[in-house]
Amino acid sequence: MSEKIVISPTSRQEGHAELVMDVDDEGIVTKGRYFSITPVRGLEKIVTGKVPETAPVIVQRICGVCPIPHTLASVEAIDDSLGIEIPKAARQLRELTLAAHTVNSHAIHHFLIAADFVPENLMATAINSVSEIRKTVQYVVDMVAGEGIHPSDVRIGGMASNISELARKRLYARTKALIPKVDAHIDLIVGLVADKDLPAGLGVTNAPTLATHHTYGDRTKFDLDRFTEIMPETWYDDPEVGKRACSTIPLYDGRNVEVGPRARAAVFGGYSGEGVVAQHVARAMEMKTNMSKIVDILGELDTSAPVMADYDVTGTNKLGIGAIEGPRGMDVHMAQIADGKTQFYSCLVPTTWNIPTMGPATEGFHHEFGPHVIRAYDPCLSCATHVIVVDDDDRSVLKNEMVRI
């Protein structure tokens, strides 16, 4: 006899979501459905009709966990719409900001999964490592981008200012000294994940991977013509789930895809690992890659170089694309600027891509492993909702149940 197991909300992730699993007599998941129940976002509508400089400031508030990717995706989209080529040093500072944020975000994830993998006698060691790593890389974001949470110095056309030579030297010395700590932390987490002895094949899906760059992002690798978006009622076979789900379903070439650390490792590094363990390993290895990138950029940055391009804010009505590889995956913002105002704005945020993939990833194993599968993707639902149904003629809300938890 089939039974339905419901976990609501799923725990130790950002935002609210629900996991509904059909299980057989042995408790094995035969159908997994994962969906956001976080209320409507709507920030794209707030920036429409305003001057372009408004958008990065507003949309970075989409999420308190991922403000850096949203800021960068926003300025990249507007740069593209306005035809701006930013200076080399500005690009380095943007990449430096994202690399530091990625290390910080992955460390936060290790805190969230600690209860799954870290034994009591090692808990203090793991948490202290997370704290020390975060303190240093957040300092990098503070110094380079203006603020650790909402970066004020990432601007359309580049950056507000270059860092001083003294700041560069201090950041270089401090981040280089952190590398042995990061390496030891990664060895600890990867070892503990392996010791958990999770079932082989847990979390493996047939969803293709999608990534634009191994660390930063590349709008030329995202083909808008291959992207479609459907309403949740069309995707989920359970009408009640489709009615309650708060995010649309993004598809690439007509399929749900996987984004994030494992996808980037597979696309750009030939990584062949799959499933829950591979997600954790790829995320940990990405911390190493980004620490090296931080040190490399700080070692070669010309602090006397210009960081702001000249540009005309009038715009040509081109649809600009900003594709940033955030910690949880590809974050795409689209901006259309004309007559000095934002005419259109839309976001395709990382977890939205993974939502339709995470549910099926629970299938074939006991339902008790379901939370392990979900947490392996490090979902962040704070930004993944943007569904509200209104009447095209009078703008009245047709389905307000989507905005209730």
What type of residue sits at position 333?
Answer: H
**Residue with the two structure tokens 């200012």:** 161
Please state, in angstroms and as integers, the Cα–Cα distance from residue 30 to each residue in 35, 361, 366, following that order.
17, 11, 9
DSSP string, 353-404: HHHHHHTGGGTTSBGGGHHHHHHHT--BGGG-----EE-TTT--EEEGGGG-
Alpha helices in 203-260 (DSSP H): 232-235, 239-244
Q: How many residues belong to the chain?
A: 405
Task: Report the chain's C-alpha Rg in angstroms.
Answer: 21
- Numbered residues of the known binding site for Fe cation: 66, 383
For 35-54, what is each residue's pLDDT tens digit? 998 877 788 889 999 999 99
Beta strands, E only, 103-262: 154-155, 158-159, 227-230, 249-252
pLDDT band at 387 (very low <50, low <70, confident <90, very high): low
pLDDT at 81 over 50: yes
The C-alpha atoms of residue 191 and residue 36 are separated, in whole angstroms, by 32
Please state, in angstroms and as integers, the Cα–Cα distance from residue 46 to each residue in 59, 64, 66, 78, 348, following that order.
9, 18, 19, 16, 16
- Numbered residues of the known binding site: 44, 63, 66, 380, 383, 386
pTM of the model: 0.94
- Numbered residues of the known binding site for Mg(2+): 44, 386
Q: What is the mean pLDDT of residues 271-297?
A: 98
- Numbered residues of the known binding site for Ni(2+): 63, 66, 380
pLDDT band at 1 (very low <50, low <70, confident <90, very high): low
Please count the other Cβ atoms lying within 10 Å of the Cβ belonging to residue 395. Answer: 7
Cβ burial, residue 320 (10 Å; 0-12/13-18/19+):
buried
C-alpha angle 227-41-65 in degrees, rounded to nearest 5: 90
For 149-172, what is each residue's pLDDT tens digit? 899 999 999 999 999 999 999 999
pLDDT band at 399 (very low <50, low <70, confident <90, very high): low
pLDDT at 402 over 60: no
